[in-house]
Amino acid sequence: MRYKLIVFLINALFIINIVAVAAPISNDLKENKTMYFDDPVPTWSVGNSWTYTFNNFSVHYEYNEIKIFIDGRIDDFKWTVVNTDGTDYKVDLTGEITADSYEVNLPLSTKTLHITGSIKPSLTSLSGTIVFTKSDLEIKDISAEIKGIISAKISPIPFSIPIPFKVTLDGDLSTVLPIFDFPLFDDKYWNLPAIDVTSNISVGGIFGFIKYPFTLTTSYTWIPLAFHCKPKADVTVGGVTYSAYEITSTLFDVFKYYYAPSAGNLIKIDATMPNGELHGELKSTNFS
């Protein structure tokens, strides 16, 4: 009898210990969502950079009399962390744009300015800034500027002429855009919040004689389980093979991008949106 009682007490203590240890882990899963098998948010440092090549970059936008068509590519599209103070990362963008053809219609007074031509990378530069939150690498703010000299044919002039130009974009987001939801793990889902994206755009050129500002606003309603993080698989970009998560849109097959923990960032992007497409991949990085 005494032996059975001792065995019972030992088993009871063993079970109590398991419950005592398991309970904090379970709570941690619910509250912090971080376990050993998860991939946490990466820590970026000033000087970290990622260089991409976008072989297919297009904008097809029409609104009333405004028309913007661009088909081209972006080379040496470099993201560089320049500030890590506070709760955000500030990332500078640079790149070179090539477009074999573009078409722009801008209404001016009683007439419409119709411009066609091409963009050469040696004469055009892209620069900008993206602000990411440190907590989840959510996009908080974005701005960009494209400037240089383009080859343009302005109707009714029958021949092309070089024209200096500048396009500025200031994106105003009503809330952060959660392209990630760390920690990442196999088959994780997260929501798209209701968000308004307002793009304040200014087009200037022709030696300062034309300045055309306009605003575009796109609204997205709240979508539950809009993002799906699929299990990691090997993805080769820039001659390097990464173990990466594939993140896709669940309701409409409009975007797909790949995140590699060892690269600390996106390594491949495929997006087909109503107003354009973007297809590119990582060329090199110094992140470690």
| pLDDT (tens digit per residue) in 224-260 | 999 999 999 999 999 999 999 999 998 777 899 999 9
Residues 19, 58, single domain; the answer is: no
pTM of the model: 0.82
Q: 4 and 44 share a domain?
A: no
Residues 2 and 42 in one domain: no
Residues spanned by the domain of 28: 1-32
Q: Rounded to whole angstroms, how far apart are CA atoms 35 and 37? A: 5
Does the pLDDT of residue 9 top 50, yes or no? no
Q: Mark whether 87 and 157 lie in a shared domain.
A: yes
From the list 212, 116, 121, the residue with the least C-alpha distance to 168 is 212
Torsion on CA atoms 30, 263, 71, 205, rounded to nearest 10 = 100
- Is 260 exposed, middle or buried (CB count within 10 Å of its CB: 0-12, 13-18, 19+)? buried
Answer yes or no: is pLDDT of 158 > 90: no
Range from 111-125, 134-148, 177-191 carrying the lowest mean pLDDT: 111-125
Question: Does residue 100 share a domain with residue 3?
Answer: no
Helix (H) or strand (E) holding 83: strand 66-83
CA dihedral 134, 135, 136, 138 (to 10 degrees): -60
In the chain, what percentage of residues exceed pLDDT 70? 85
Q: Are residues 169 and 233 in the same domain?
A: yes
Do 16 and 120 have their domain in common? no
Residues 103 and 20 in one domain: no
Tell me, rounded to whole angstroms, the distance of Cα 240 from its chain centroid.
Answer: 21
Residues 28, 39: one domain? no
Number of domains in the chain: 2
Residues 43 and 14 both lie in one domain: no
Q: Is residue 172 within 8 Å of 200, Cβ to Cβ? A: yes
99 and 138 co-located in one domain? yes
Same domain? For 167 and 54 the reply is: yes
Computed over every residue of the chain, the mean pLDDT equals 84
What is the pLDDT at residue 210?
66
